[in-house]
Structure 1
Amino acid sequence: MDFPINIEANIVSHNGNFSRNITLQGGLTIIIGPNGSGKTHLLRSLKQPLAPVMNGKKVRFLSAGRLGLLEEYRSDYDGHRSGFPNYENASFGRKSDVSRRHQMETLNGDFQTLSERADILIKVQERLRKLFKRDLIIEWDGGSLKVVFARLDITSTPYSSGREASGLLHLVGILAALYDDEVGAILIDEPEVSLHPQLQSFLLNEITNAAGHPSEGGYKKLVIMATHSTEMLRIAKSNDLASLIFCHDLDKPPVQLDPNNGELKNKKLQTLIARLGQEHKLSLFCKRPLLVEGPSDVMIASFISNKLELHLEAAGSQLLPVIGKGQMPVVTKFMRLIGKEPVVLADADAFTDDLDLIRCFLANSSTADADASKLGAQSAMKLASSTYSDFCSLVNDNWEDISRQAEIHPYYTNAGESIDENVKRRAVFCTLFSLSSSEVNDLTNAEKWSSMKDRLTVVLQLLENSGCFILRKGAIESYYQVSDIYTSEGKPTAAVDEIDHLDQLSAQKVREQLDDLVRCIEYASEGKHINEAESLRDILLSIAAPAVARLSTNDQVTTQDINILAKSILGERANIFNCSVENGKLKIDIESKILNICGFPVIIDKNDDVVRIIERVLLSNA
């Protein structure tokens, strides 16, 4: 059987059973995606359907936790070792395990292979000796397989594998599995575990060398791996994308690209892929990459995410700077091609210069069209096009109405002698959104300008609802309060200075000053805000409600009575609180020193609405 190889896999999971059709375009296939996206489930599901195409060779699965039982010898795993692991007795199984070595999902199977196959041992030993100045000794001791390492660069006695770095143990095991010609397919979950970036690069070379069709002979085999590491991705040309499987959620089919997809022939896309950087690769692992226009935008957006506790990355997003005029639409299309949901934060010129980015988000968008139809428009794109066209005409015909204000905008002043229609449109757009309503009304032809601002606002809202956010003041520098808004050099330095200033402000002030950016980051992070008070709500109510009920029927209730009640309801969780009765009222304070919750102590009278008071405490933590 030649490539491509089509496989129908059945995933059996806690969330149901799913049938998945996977195509292997070549010897190496890589499954990527965020935690919890179903990568391991998919990887494991491929083991059984691969067996029929192996022509008698084995299919091997290596789990991410492949150290397995070896950890018993490398750590105080049960707290009874007094901090002294049992290093010297580290063992990789018994002689009777040899026959099952290809079924094992831990390193035990690979070290069993090294004990049986002297030729594989030689290949591994040579690499250890030359690259890592280590030697490897495999020996049987009383029926147990022992592995001993020796340093070649210094004079020292051999030592147990229990004392060796976990990264080298992982490396030895994976190399043994790769070189095993009895194996026709190997499924590796997180090959990068415990390996530093340079070692990951070496391992990827060895994986690439081993990857191929089993029929090619030697130790060529199908290699399928699930990874979180950008170091395990090597993408040099557009067709390399066909070897990637993008997982986004367990119950959603993974995304694969057909190498014959016409989009992959796009010259701009091919250029982009040829120069994929670390940031681009990182974005391949997330669900909603946030595309921004440069390093300064990354710095400010990252600060906002941290300051407002929006946790962009944890929410499945990744900041990605897109450098180069006209590249934003290209990267947006690329991200959608591989199943991502890109969010864009773009300078105003991405809106005023042409309709390319607008089309990316509004053309053929059923959601945007539904929003536009409520406004009486035939489609979102038609609404945006007519607004854009009328805006260009208004600027061209009525430049003098607003030129005095527009000519002090950085878009205009930084243009020098190169003033053209694009520069004027950029400056006018940003000026309109910088002027107050009264200032717009003071312009000549105020009705036209006011109407245009309203129409532009509608289009910008349609774009934001679709994930495209335009910086209405211009570029990121136009929002600076202390740094130079006209800066064109040393932008990252100016961003650092601005962040120092912003860090002194309250979260509310940051929201007010950087409202356009905040809306975008909230959208990309789906507005998730960690609030420990919300998790405490039901626990707090479970104590407060019955305690107040008891106070309302019995004036003799004591602090001890309330604490006994709390203990009977919550058990050990009651220790979170310090409950007491003071002047006939219930007082609940936080006993825990690690919960970051304000609003305590809570004082509740027997006639109070308990739920309303508890909700007020929660609101103070929002």
Structure 2
Amino acid sequence: MVLDTRPDLKLKIEARLQQLFDRSVELKWTQNGMSIRITSVMGGDGYPANYEASGILQLVALLSAIHNDDIGALLIDEPEISLHPQHQAFLLEEMEQVAGDPADPTKKLIVIATHSASMLPLRHINELPKIAFFASARQIPSQIAPGTDILKRVKLAALIARLGTTHRTAMFAEHILLVEGPSDEIVASQLARRLGLRLLARNAQILPVIGKGEFVEVAKLFRLMNKRVSLLADLDALADDNTLVCFFSDFPEAAAIADKIGRTNLADLDRDLRNALSTFIADHKTEADTAAKTYPDWSSKESSPLATQRLTLARVLNDPESFGGKAASRATSLRTQYDVLLNALCQLGCFFLRRGAIENYYDMSGMDYNGKPDRAAIEAAEFDVKDADELAAHYGDVLAALRHAAPNQLVDEDLLLRMKLGAILTPVLLGMDINSSNAQLNALAKNTIGTASEVFALANKSTSQQVRLDVDIASPLFKRATFPFEIGLSDNPTTIVPQVLPGIPKKD
């Protein structure tokens, strides 16, 4: 209706449709009202608008509202529906052209609710206060106030500026797992895929930062958005200084965790361990220097006084016996103490690569590739041909961080099947005799729980001495090696059902 009365607005819309789709909008009045037709600027007959793709029709309506200068405020729910990502980006640019203070007749207030990273107007850190974050139905929306000190951080401004569409999905996630660089992201994301950890489905996102120096600032930023934040850092972030430990020690829940291990706070424990490590290195300088020479340091290319400290800590955590003699005994004791600290930090979401850096976990045999991301890609490409359990054990430090970021992510079908099977076994066993037909048994099951019983196939395997029921799975959607099985009147269904439908094993 508006386009029919506003030829200037109609031309505005047609100019954009021609640019994007080589289409024009044709409006005609008929006896049944207004008829909207689409014509191609390349020639040919027009056709009714309802023959066109829904995205184009939605775009006509959205562009009409966006450029209608009679509208002062526009609320749009999910403008991305049915639109190609590039067209979403185009629509965002169109909205930004006219968005502003409605006191200006050429501007309007525009509010959108979106699930699309392409529709997220975030190219500069100063644009963050324009966004309200809905983390979950259990929390009120959060918004960063303009002028907040954290918005002045240079490193955070650089992070926001380099966020591509993929990493912008972190703005929609409930839990953010920060990792140190693209190599760690490649390995962590491919490991999660191989082991069936559905991060995105559990509203979790891996986000790489550039260097350990960004961890705290980025974590603070996302916590202002009411997001749960965890991180996976190289070991040098623990060996070099106490920045990360102090940050997590200030979490409200950290006091109770420290209390359980008999400490005032975790930062004090870290300080004591740091002193103990320095004393160990001083007392066993020869052993520490020898161990450091044979352990690859991927955290830094230049030689520094911190290198020996980093590599000694890696040896202590992974192979304390390699120091030999009395040093080995002290190293073993030191590892036990460090385990207490690291396990406490894990509860808070702070994880460290105990071997040093992600490259210390690779199978480096025969590898000759330039650049850390190339090495990570080659390593991750081999995950599909490796045994899942061995892979999980080898990358245990990474896996622990992934599970923290996306807990309870596995779909356990056995839980539901168990209830259905348990509901039919007792009534069928009590209602059958040695002469009951298979049809009668399956009908009895159906009368008990309805059509869900058709997932199972029951058969009478009774003898003259005892009643026996054979239970199989009829549906091809549920293959189980534990089926078929037999059960009799003297057997306890509450014992047998969990055995044949054990579910997914719980991980520590």
* TM-score normalised according to structure 1 size: 0.76
CA–CA distance in 1 between the matches of 2:334 and 2:208? 31
Does residue 1:113 correspond to 2:2, yes or no? yes
CA–CA distance in 2 between the matches of 1:280 and 1:432? 36
Letter in 1 for 2:137: L
What is the match of residue 385 of structure 1?
271
What is the match of residue 578 of structure 1?
457
What is the match of residue 95 of structure 1?
none
What is the match of residue 22 of structure 2?
133
Cα contact 1:597–1:621 (8 A) shared by 2: no
From 336, 358, 363, the equivalent of 1:476 is: 358
Does residue 1:562 correspond to 2:441, yes or no? yes
Q: How does 1:93-172 map to 2 (within 5 A)?
A: 112-152=1-41, 154-172=42-60
From 186, 194, 216, the equivalent of 1:307 is: 194
Cα contact 2:38–2:49 (8 A) shared by 1: yes
What is the match of residue 375 of structure 1?
261
Cα contact 1:348–1:430 (8 A) shared by 2: yes
What is the match of residue 180 of structure 2?
293
Q: How does 1:479-498 map to 2 (within 5 A)?
A: 479-481=361-363, 483=365, 489-498=370-379
CA–CA distance in 2 between the matches of 1:559 and 1:597? 21
CA–CA distance in 1 between the matches of 2:238 and 2:279? 15
What is the match of residue 105 of structure 2?
217
What is the match of residue 54 of structure 1?
none
Letter in 1 for 2:333: S
CA–CA distance in 1 between the matches of 2:482 and 2:248? 43
What is the match of residue 459 of structure 1?
341
What is the match of residue 426 of structure 1?
310
CA–CA distance in 1 between the matches of 2:438 and 2:260? 59
From 583, 599, 604, the equivalent of 2:487 is: 604
Moved more, 222-231 or 392-401: 392-401
CA–CA distance in 1 between the matches of 2:400 and 2:441? 45
Cα contact 1:188–1:225 (8 A) shared by 2: yes
SS of the equivalent of 2:460 reads strand
Residue 588 of structure 1: how far off its partner (Å): 1.6
Cα contact 1:484–1:494 (8 A) shared by 2: no
SS of the equivalent of 1:216 reads coil
Cα 1:186/1:547, change in 2 over 3 Å: same
Does residue 1:528 correspond to 2:409, yes or no? yes
Residue 550 of structure 1: how far off its partner (Å): 3.3
CA–CA distance in 2 between the matches of 1:245 and 1:134? 36
Cα contact 1:567–1:574 (8 A) shared by 2: yes
CA–CA distance in 1 between the matches of 2:421 and 2:98? 58
Letter in 2 for 1:341: R
CA–CA distance in 2 between the matches of 1:484 and 1:620? 40
Cα 1:255/1:170, change in 2 over 3 Å: same
Residue 415 of structure 1: how far off its partner (Å): 6.2
Moved more, 185-194 or 487-496: 487-496
Residue 493 of structure 1: how far off its partner (Å): 3.8
Cα contact 1:599–1:620 (8 A) shared by 2: no
Letter in 2 for 1:359: C
What is the match of residue 87 of structure 1?
none
CA–CA distance in 1 between the matches of 2:383 and 2:161? 37
Deviations 1:111-148 (A, max 9, x none): x3223333322221222234432211112222333211
Deviations 1:375-426 (A, max 9, x none): 22111222223222332343344332333333211118x967x432211111
Deviations 1:577-601 (A, max 9, x none): 1111213322221111123544222
Cα contact 2:351–2:401 (8 A) shared by 1: yes
Deviations 1:475-508 (A, max 9, x none): 11211235569x7834344334433443233322
CA–CA distance in 2 between the matches of 1:131 and 1:519? 47
Cα 1:374/1:303, change in 2 over 3 Å: same
Cα 1:242/1:528, change in 2 over 3 Å: same
What is the match of residue 85 of structure 2?
197
Equivalences, count: 501
